[in-house]
Structure 1
C-alpha cells in the first residue's frame, strides 16, 4: 500500500472562516474525499485534532496498524491533520488513531465527517460519495411557495425503525419505505413527514437522539443514496421532509466526538456546561468557533445534499439555560448574572441566519418548552430566528383537559381557552409527538375517558380541535389510527387495529381533517396572526361548548367552528355571527363513516337577524355529542 502523500483541499480563506466560526460547508474539506492527485486515484483525509501529537488513518487496508498512514499537521495552527492515500477506494472501512499531546493518550475515532458508517454495533467509518441523480426538480422549484408559513403544514412524525416491519420483524429499508411510507402519507394527506433522527447512532433505545455520525444517515436501513431516494420519492409525491436535528448533546461512546483528541474538543471543558445530567451525555461548546462551524455545516449539509425542507431542532430549552436540570451550585451564571447561555443564543442566531440565507423555502422548528421570548422571531428584531416553535403549553393543557371525565369539564374550560392568550406570541406548531406516548403516559387514545364509544369520540374531538386551532400540526405515527398501547420502538405499530371500525374511523377522520385544512385557506393563511382568529363564545362553561371563527385573507371564506366537549346532544344551540346568510356544515367528527352517531346539520342553516353573543346575527345548530362541527358562511 502506498504511503500518505502531502495534499490539501484547504485554502487560507477556508482556515480563516473555520477559525472564525463562519465556515458553513466544512464537509467539502474535512472528512474522506475520493479524489485524483497527479492522475492517481485515492482518498484525501482531513480531521480536526489540535491536541494531537500524531494522527494515523487505520483500516482493513493497513491491518489497523497505527503509523502506517500518518497524516500531516497543517502549519497554520488550525489543528487540522490531512493527507492523500493512493488506492483507497469507495467502501473502504477506516478510523482515525490519534495520539494526544495530553500524556500520550491514544484514541481511536470514527470520522466526524464520515458520509457513511458501518452497521451498528460495528463503529468504523466508510469511504463514500454523495453522487445521486435527483428527480425532484418540480418540488424544489415550488418549495418556496408550498413550504411557506401561510400554507398548510401538517406533519407526520415517524420513527423509521418501528413504523412498520416485515414478516420476520426486521426493519423496512429506505427503499421499501420509499414505496410503503410514501403511499401511506399521500393517502392520509399529511403535507410533511418528520423523521426522528436518521443520523448514525449506536444505541437503539436512544431513538436516534445520541448521535455519533452527524453526516451519515444510519446504515440500519440502507446506504446514503437509498435515503436520498426516499426523500426524492416523498418530494415527487408532493410531501415535504423535516429532519430531527440534535445539536444539544452527544454520547460519550469511545468512537464518538467525546474526548476526541485526548482533550475536550467538541464538548465544553467545564462539566457544568459540558455534561447533560438528564441524558448522561456531553454538551457542545457553543462558544468555540470551530464547533460552531461543525454544527452549522452539518445543518447546511442535510439541506444541500439530502434536499431536506426543514430541521426540527431538539431540546432547545436545554441549550438556552445554564441551570437546565441543574441544582444550585451545579451551574454558573453568565457575565450579566443571568441563567441564559449567551453562547447558545449567539449560535442559534447564526444557525438560523445561515439556513435562511442559503436556502429558499426551508423552515427551522424549535422544540422549546419554556417561555423564552421571540424564539420564532427574526434575528434582526432580536429573536432567535426560528420559523416555528412547538406549542408545548397547548399540548400539556389540552391533554390534561381531555383526560377529565366530561362531567367535570365545565370547571376546567380555561385549560383550553388559555392557549389563545399567547397563541400569536410565536409561530406555534401544535405537537402530539412521540414524547407523549411513552414512559407510562399511555397512547393518545389510551388517555381518553369513558367507554369505547366515548374514548374514540373524544379522540376525534381532540383532533378536530387541533386542526381548527391556530398553528401548524404534528402527529406522531400511530396516533392517526388510534394506536391503543404505548409506542414501542422495538416493534411495529399495531396495524391490525385498522380492521376495527373505531380505529379505521380515526384514520378516515385524520384523512378528512388534512383535506379540510388544505382546502379552506381560513385554516392556514393567518395561522400565526391574531387577525385569523375570533372567539364567538369561550365562556359557555356550563355546557362545555366553545365556538370561534377562523379567518383567511378573503372574508367570504371564513369558517365557523363549534366544539361540544360533553356526550350530551345540544339541540337548538344558538351562536352569534357577524353577518346574514347561511351556514353549511363542511365537517362533523360525529359522522357515521368515522364510527360516530351520525348526528349533525345536514341542511343549510339560515342566519337570522337575531342578536346573540354580542353580535347582530345568529343561527341555531345541532351539536353532536363529543364532537367538532365546522361550517362555512355564505
Structure 2
C-alpha cells in the first residue's frame, strides 16, 4: 500500500481529510470549523467547512461587513472541504459561511462545527476556543475507570436546564448557577448521575433541544462553553456523573442549519422518503454518507473529550432503525433486501458504540429504543448494537398503566406488574420515569395515581419502591422526587412552592431515603443483568394485589413485599430464603414519610413455618399501598 503524502494547508492534512471522507475521522472537530491558529507568526482563525456541491464558499462576519467577496475560501483538492486562514481575528468574532450554489443562489449558513453560537433569535456562529481547559476532576475520572457500570448503582436525575429553576420568563439560570444549586441538590438527594436534556444549540425552546442546528455548540441560553465545563466539573467533584441526551437521528429545517447546506442534499438523503420525518417536521441524517458518519461519531467523542461527559442517552433509536416508523404511505422506502430496516443506521450505531468504547471504556451509552430490536445491549462482535444499556419502555408502559387503574381493578390486570420479569434480563435495562411521561396531557406521576389526595401519595411511594427494587438501573425526571402535582410545564420552573406543604416535603424525604437505601443495598444493583439476581417469592397473589420477591447480590440478599391494594393485609406470611433476622430497611408507610406506621424499621425473626415453598417464613402487617424492603 502506497504511503499517503502529508500535505499541510493551514493545519489541515490530506490524512485527516482522507479519514473524514471515508467515515473514519473520530476527532474531526480538531480541524473542522473555526480554530485559533498562528500562521507565519501572525495570530488569526483558520476556517474549514465541508461543502462539496458549492461553486464557492466565503467567510462572512462583522469583520468584513458580511461581504462574501472579501474572504473567499480555497478548496482542498477533491475532498469537498474549503479552508481559509484569516489573520488578526480573535475569539468572540461572529461569522457564517456564504455559499454560492451551482444554480447561482446565495446561501448564508451557520458553521456545522461551530463551538459557540449567538443566542436565539440570532443565528451566527462565534469563534471560541473550547479545546483548552484545565480540568480538576481527576479523582472522579479514576473512580469511573475502576467502576464498571453493570455492577454499580445507577440512579439518574433527568433535568431540563431551562425549567428546573428560572429567574423569570426566559431568564434562565446559567450553567455556573446550576453548578451552584442543582449539583449540591442532586448530591444531597443521593443521585449518582444527572442526565441533561439536549444542550446542543437549537432555535426553538419548545423543542426541548431535540431539534438541533449546532451539534458542537452548547446552547448559549444558559451561558458559555467554559461555564458548561464548570457545571460538569462541579458534578464530578460531587461524585456525580453527567449524561447528555444526544440526537443523531435528525436535524431541524431552519434555513441557517444543515438542510440543503450547499444548495443540495448533503447531510440528508436525496430521496424524500429517507430524508423527511413529517411527524417531527425535521430532516433525517443519511447514514450512508461517510462524511456524515465522521461528523456524528466525532460529535459523540467531542462531548466526552472536550466536556468530559460521562455518557450519552441516544434519542429515538427505533426511529433510526425503522424506515417506516411514523411515515405516511407515500414516504415509505425499503432497503436493498426489500425490508424496512435501515441497514445504514444499523451499521452507524454499531460503529458509534465501538468507537466510543474504544476511547472511553466505562462510558454510558443508553439507547432510548421503543422497538423489539434484539440484542441492543449485546457487543457488536456477537451481533448486537453495542450499547451498554437500553431504556425499558415495556416496563414503564405496563407499570404506569397498572398504577393508573382503580385499585379494585388491579387484581384483573396482575400481569401488568409481573410480566416485565419475563424479559428483564434479555437486555441491560434502565427503568425510565422520564419527562415524556409527565407532559402533553399525560399528567404528573403523582396525579396518575387514583384515589384521594392522601392515597395518591401513598401509592406514589409504593410505586417508587417497586421501581427502585425491580431489576434495572433507574431514572427519574425532576420534580418527581417531591410529587410535582401538575404535569411538566417547559416554559416555567418546577412548582417548588408546593414544598411548603408537608405531604410534598415528606415525599422528598422518602425519595431521599429510598435513594440512600438503593445505593447502600448492593443486592439491588450488583446483579441487575443476571437472572440469578432475582427470585419470585409470591407472583400469583392477584386476588390481593400483593407481590413479593428476593433480590440477590454477590454476598447479600433483600426481600421485597409490596401491597398494591386499598385493603390492609394483617398477619401476611411470606416465605424467606434462609433462617435469620430480617431487618426493615425502608417502609413506605413509615410516619416520617407521611404514612401511619410508627415503627417503620422493626425486625422480624424467621420461623420454622414452611411457606411459599420455603422452610422459613416471617409474618408482616401490610397496610394499604405499602412497600417494604428488608435485608438479612
TM-score by length of 2: 0.97
Post-superposition shift, 1:579?
Answer: 1.6
Post-superposition shift, 1:168?
Answer: 7.0
**Which residue does the alignment assign to 2:593?**
594
Question: 1:513-552, aligned counterparts within 5 Å?
Answer: 513-552=514-553
Question: 1:262-301, aligned counterparts within 5 Å?
Answer: 262-301=263-302
Question: 1:48-447, aligned counterparts within 5 Å?
Answer: 48-75=50-77, 77-101=78-102, 103-130=103-130, 131-146=132-147, 148-166=149-167, 170-447=171-448
222 and 369 in structure 1: CA distance in 2 versus 1, 3 angstrom threshold: same
Post-superposition shift, 1:594?
Answer: 1.0
Contact 2:192 2:241 in 1 (8 A): yes
Q: Measure, in 2, the Cα distance between the counterparts of 1:214 and 1:624.
A: 51
Post-superposition shift, 1:577?
Answer: 1.7
Contact 2:586 2:601 in 1 (8 A): no
**Which residue does the alignment assign to 1:578?**
577
Q: Measure, in 2, the Cα distance between the counterparts of 1:626 and 1:119.
A: 48
Post-superposition shift, 1:78?
Answer: 0.9
Superposed CA deviations along residues 371-391 of structure 1, whole A, max 9, x for unmatched, are 110111110110000010000
**Which residue does the alignment assign to 1:489?**
490
Superposed CA deviations along residues 50-74 of structure 1, whole A, max 9, x for unmatched, are 0011000000000001120000001
Post-superposition shift, 1:339?
Answer: 1.3
Q: Measure, in 1, the Cα distance between the counterparts of 2:610 and 2:165.
A: 54
177 and 269 in structure 1: CA distance in 2 versus 1, 3 angstrom threshold: same
218 and 335 in structure 1: CA distance in 2 versus 1, 3 angstrom threshold: same
| Superposed CA RMSD | 1.2
Contact 2:586 2:629 in 1 (8 A): yes
109 and 547 in structure 1: CA distance in 2 versus 1, 3 angstrom threshold: same
Contact 2:169 2:491 in 1 (8 A): no
Q: Measure, in 2, the Cα distance between the counterparts of 1:615 and 1:329.
A: 60
TM-score by length of 1: 0.97
Post-superposition shift, 1:601?
Answer: 5.7
Q: 2:10 aligns with which of 8, 11, 15?
A: 8
**Which residue does the alignment assign to 2:605?**
606
Runs of 4+ in 1 over 4 A off after TM superposition: 599-602
Contact 1:313 1:367 in 2 (8 A): yes
Post-superposition shift, 1:147?
Answer: 5.6
SS of equivalent residue, structure 1 residue 95:
strand
Deviating more after overlay: 53-62 vs 561-570:
561-570
**Which residue does the alignment assign to 1:456?**
457
Post-superposition shift, 1:408?
Answer: 1.3
Superposed CA deviations along residues 388-417 of structure 1, whole A, max 9, x for unmatched, are 000001110011000111111111110010
Post-superposition shift, 1:517?
Answer: 1.0
Contact 2:585 2:601 in 1 (8 A): no
Q: Measure, in 2, the Cα distance between the counterparts of 1:395 and 1:148.
A: 21
Q: Measure, in 2, the Cα distance between the counterparts of 1:51 and 1:446.
A: 54
SS of equivalent residue, structure 1 residue 149:
helix
Q: Measure, in 1, the Cα distance between the counterparts of 2:302 and 2:150.
A: 23
Contact 1:196 1:208 in 2 (8 A): yes
Post-superposition shift, 1:18?
Answer: 1.1
Contact 2:274 2:331 in 1 (8 A): no
Superposed CA deviations along residues 449-486 of structure 1, whole A, max 9, x for unmatched, are 00011000011111111000000000011111110111
Contact 1:590 1:600 in 2 (8 A): no
**Which residue does the alignment assign to 2:560?**
561
Q: Measure, in 2, the Cα distance between the counterparts of 1:478 and 1:281.
A: 30
Post-superposition shift, 1:327?
Answer: 3.6
Contact 2:279 2:327 in 1 (8 A): no
Q: Measure, in 1, the Cα distance between the counterparts of 2:580 and 2:163.
A: 50
603 and 251 in structure 1: CA distance in 2 versus 1, 3 angstrom threshold: closer
Q: Measure, in 1, the Cα distance between the counterparts of 2:510 and 2:356.
A: 36
Structure 1: segments with no counterpart, 5+ residues = 1-5
Q: Measure, in 2, the Cα distance between the counterparts of 1:291 and 1:581.
A: 60
SS of equivalent residue, structure 2 residue 149:
coil
Superposed CA deviations along residues 543-572 of structure 1, whole A, max 9, x for unmatched, are 110000001111xx2000000001222111
Q: 2:28 aligns with which of 26, 29, 35?
A: 26
Q: Measure, in 1, the Cα distance between the counterparts of 2:350 and 2:391.
A: 18
Contact 1:143 1:360 in 2 (8 A): no
**Which residue does the alignment assign to 1:47?**
49
499 and 370 in structure 1: CA distance in 2 versus 1, 3 angstrom threshold: same
Q: Measure, in 2, the Cα distance between the counterparts of 1:169 and 1:302.
A: 26
Q: Measure, in 1, the Cα distance between the counterparts of 2:447 and 2:393.
A: 20
Q: Measure, in 1, the Cα distance between the counterparts of 2:412 and 2:50.
A: 60
Structure 2: segments with no counterpart, 5+ residues = 1-7
**Which residue does the alignment assign to 2:4?**
none
Contact 1:157 1:193 in 2 (8 A): yes
Post-superposition shift, 1:145?
Answer: 3.0
Q: Measure, in 2, the Cα distance between the counterparts of 1:129 and 1:359.
A: 23
Post-superposition shift, 1:9?
Answer: 2.1
Post-superposition shift, 1:8?
Answer: 2.8
318 and 600 in structure 1: CA distance in 2 versus 1, 3 angstrom threshold: farther
494 and 601 in structure 1: CA distance in 2 versus 1, 3 angstrom threshold: closer
Post-superposition shift, 1:12?
Answer: 2.0
Q: Measure, in 2, the Cα distance between the counterparts of 1:476 and 1:145.
A: 28
Post-superposition shift, 1:212?
Answer: 0.6
**Which residue does the alignment assign to 1:3?**
none
Post-superposition shift, 1:28?
Answer: 0.6
Q: Measure, in 2, the Cα distance between the counterparts of 1:363 and 1:167.
A: 34
Post-superposition shift, 1:169?
Answer: 6.5
Contact 1:22 1:293 in 2 (8 A): yes
Q: How many pairs were matched up?
A: 624
Superposed CA deviations along residues 154-184 of structure 1, whole A, max 9, x for unmatched, are 0000000000012677211111111100111
Post-superposition shift, 1:513?
Answer: 1.2
Post-superposition shift, 1:596?
Answer: 1.0
Q: Measure, in 1, the Cα distance between the counterparts of 2:151 and 2:139.
A: 20
Deviating more after overlay: 15-24 vs 156-165:
15-24
Post-superposition shift, 1:624?
Answer: 2.5
Post-superposition shift, 1:582?
Answer: 2.0
Post-superposition shift, 1:149?
Answer: 1.5
Post-superposition shift, 1:326?
Answer: 2.0
Contact 1:551 1:558 in 2 (8 A): yes
